[in-house]
A and B are shown apart, each in its own frame.
Chain A
Amino acid sequence: MSSFSHKIDEWMKEAEARPASAITIVKLIARRLRELTERNEELLSENIALQNGTRVEEYQKRISHLEYQLDLLKRRFGADESLLAELPVNPAETSSLSLLAYNIYGRILRIEVEADARSLGRIADETLATGEQPRLLAIPSNEEVLLLFTSGRVSTCAVADIATMEVGSAWSWEQAALPDEPRAGEMLACIAPLTHLPLSEFFLQVSRRGCVKKTMTSMAQSILGNHYLGKSTLQKSDQPFDVTLCQKKDLFAVVTIEGHLLGLDVDALPYSAEERIRLTATDYVIGSFVPRSDQSMLFVTQTGKVIQRDSANLELSKSGLAKGQALIPPARLGQGVRFIGAASVQEQDRIVALDATGSLNVHLAEALTGAGSIEAGGLILSIGVIPAEVQR
């Protein structure tokens, strides 16, 4: 205390020597006082939370959440508690890789992909080119996936529980598994990997009309228990498009059919659905992903043209409602060029492309970006990415 009094005496001497300094000193002390007052209020509210048990409840919830995540991990590794200590260091290495091709009716075709496979087989379906296009997801066979329906309902399903199709043959949707049949009036919006849930902070949803919403994964137990995540839409005509697990510090890219790319800072995104991309009446979202700094962004048109952009080129949207970067020149847009898929890829990743003939072919990302196009028997309908680290 005496040293502090000494300091005050020294400040006073400065004020006496240079009266103008007195104003500066008072301003600096006032600013500090305000900071300390704010901090004091934070500590007081923390104290109240500790005293009335709110904080205890919060920690209990967090513990429950962690227990749930542990359960998920146990299910993934197929181990009980006594076996957890003996788990192999990298069990993913022993797992095979599955490609899920799914449609809006909840039908899922699971194909086990070999490391050197080039052609996987064919979906024999006449409505392929006319109806809602199927989507593709590559995922290790021992993982769990989240099914999001257009009503906002969610359910989980182990990949291993979905029957596999024979590689190289022709399959029909009637043969496909139906792990959770859509209820009346709803459709399957997307399937998302769930394994990284314990390491993620948010579920990030995006709708066809560019509404985004994030939900804390600490609520996962309640969400999955109640089978409801929400639609993340504002208009009746809008539908959920995708859900991604991400971290607070991540960036998020949204791509539309008419070639607009919008970069968003996850930390700045709202917890309630908000329209973030200004779309024309004919435009809608066809891709969303978390770009990584060591990867590049890949965009594919319906004719198989491949456009590559460095992740560093993603411009973050500064306004609440933005148009995004236009990647398709107006002339090409007028000629009917449209994006059908987009993803964040590394050179060694493999891309699975589904074309209008129903064929599923695998291409090395490096080769695609080098050639600038995907060779296919017809128009490209959908793409999926097999990450290099999962292949290994």
Chain B
Amino acid sequence: MSIKVGIDFGTSNSGVAVYDGQYVKLLPVDPKNVLPEVIKTVLYITRDYRTSIGQEAVENYYRDNVNRHRHYVKQWAGEIDVYGADMHYVRDVFVYVDELKPGRLLQYLKTALRKESYTGTQVFERYFTVGDLAKTYLSLLKQRAEDILREPIHSVTLGRPVKFSESPEQDRKAQEILRQAAHEAGFHEVDFELEPIAAALDYEQSIPKPQNVVIFDFGGGTLDIAVMRLGDPRKREVYASGGVDIAGSDFDRTIIEKRMLPHFGLGQVKHHPEILEMIQAIPDWMALPELGTPINKNILEKAIQAGTAPIQVRSLQGLIYNDLAFTFYNRVEAGKIALSKDGATIVSLEDKDIALWELYTRHQFETDIQHYLVDVEKVLLDTIAKSGLDPAEIDAVVKTGGSSNIPLFTEMLGRIFGTEKVRESNSFTSVVAGLAIKAYTVG
């Protein structure tokens, strides 16, 4: 006997749920997390290819990496043919590789599916395609779910955004990569459901009569909107759907770019293009560890000795060489989340060589992300227009996803539809609950 589950493979967080026809059971797949039903979409792969996901991956990463020793060795990477007017020569290319690097932490696995230019990554001696990464994550998640249910799982309904990509070809390709990854992870039957529609299925259980509903699914990677008729499962109808690649990770990046970079020398370091390049790389935490080469260390040391913004450059050095990028990103994200509730918060990072402290207010945050609000509002109104309904004809707006809690967007929804129509749902679990219901009805 095999069971069918719903899996929300989210950009920041994932989850697994099962439905028995009466109740949705969210599986505690990450017992180490504050919310065990929510598991971070992070994958840690060690040098000997041991893998872990969720909070365990984060803990393993911290244990192995923070303030560790490094030892760079020069490795031959290939050769370049150089052609001139009357000559041709071959030049060897070398890279510096940290031979003590114990493992790699990979985040935003779902975002990787959307990028046409990103096909995979080298993890020590082995190349992992995007599909390999998704497969590894899904198989570990499946294993955890099976351990909880004590039953094999062969079928899954996976959530997917309305658009993985603006390009239909890339959108189709991303779904096929995810389908193949799920098959390779051990799921014999795989089907998909749009995430906003899945979120609506959860909401549908709570309404007594049919309604026109807007699902505003604003998570870590994308904004997905669906305008639907809900209330009678037999007459369920999707009037329109839309979406845009704006979400939580973009807000984090904006906070770093606008507020954090001066702490690492932006505005004070001039005429040092190499250092400026390192500073500009800070918002991309996955690229940051790659900057920790001996050449860069030498450049930073020289700048410190020459008195070029020494405190800020020392902080930059600490951020790169003490592997604090992940911690730093988490602090920024935590600050952003706090601003959904409070008017002000502190983003701080205290470590060897770093003493970052920034008081950040909601007003500053809203100013910083104002341009996103314009884009989000436009996509929302376009989708409503596509549905043929007027905002006044909408009975309810269901918010889901972590970013939907940002007051600026809640206010926008209230302004367009009326505050009484805006409904809260469980930001992190409504999609997976809907996927479980879908899995049950299909299965």
Contacts and interface: CB of A to CB of B under 8 A. Distances in A.
B363 A17 contact: yes
A28 B343 CA distance: 11
Given A3-B262, A21-B362, A14 B357 contact: no
A208 to B, nearest CB: 39
A29 interface: yes
B344 A25 contact: yes
Interface centre among B267, B342, B361 (most CB of A within 10 A): B361
Interface in B345-399: 345-346, 357, 359, 361-364, 367
Contact of A10 (B346, B357, B361): B361
B312 to A, nearest CB: 13
A21 B357 CA distance: 18
A82 to B, nearest CB: 31
A14 B344 contact: yes
Given A25-B343, A28-B344, A11 B262 contact: no
Interface centre among B344, B345, B359, B362 (most CB of A within 10 A): B344
Contacts of B262: 3
B363 A28 contact: no
B342 A21 contact: yes
Contacts of A28: 344-346, 359
Given A18-B343, A21-B344, A11 B357 contact: no
Interface in A1-57: 3, 7, 10-11, 13-14, 17-18, 20-21, 24-25, 28-29, 32
Contacts of B357: 32
Interface of B: 262, 267, 342-346, 357, 359, 361-364, 367
A313 B359 CA distance: 43
Shortest 10 CB-CB contacts between residues of A and residues of B:
A21-B343, A14-B361, A14-B363, A24-B344, A25-B344, A18-B343, A13-B363, A10-B364, A24-B343, A21-B344
B346 A14 contact: no
A133 to B, nearest CB: 43
B344 A10 contact: no
Given A3-B262, A32-B357, A20 B363 contact: no
Contacts of A32: 346, 357, 359
A13 B345 CA distance: 15
Contacts of A7: 359
Contact of B342 (A10, A11, A24): A24
Contacts of B363: 10, 13-14, 17-18
A32 B359 CA distance: 10
A11 B362 contact: no
Contacts of A17: 363
A108 to B, nearest CB: 41
Contacts of A24: 342-344
A297 B367 CA distance: 60
A368 to B, nearest CB: 32
B351 to A, nearest CB: 15
B359 to A, nearest CB: 6
B344 A20 contact: no
Nearest to B361: A14
Contact of A11 (B267, B344, B346, B367): B344
B359 A29 contact: yes
Nearest to A17: B363
A226 B361 CA distance: 61
Contacts of B343: 14, 18, 20-21, 24-25
B178 to A, nearest CB: 40
A25 B346 CA distance: 9
B410 to A, nearest CB: 14
A84 B343 CA distance: 64
Contacts of B359: 7, 11, 25, 28-29, 32
Contacts of B367: 10
A51 to B, nearest CB: 24
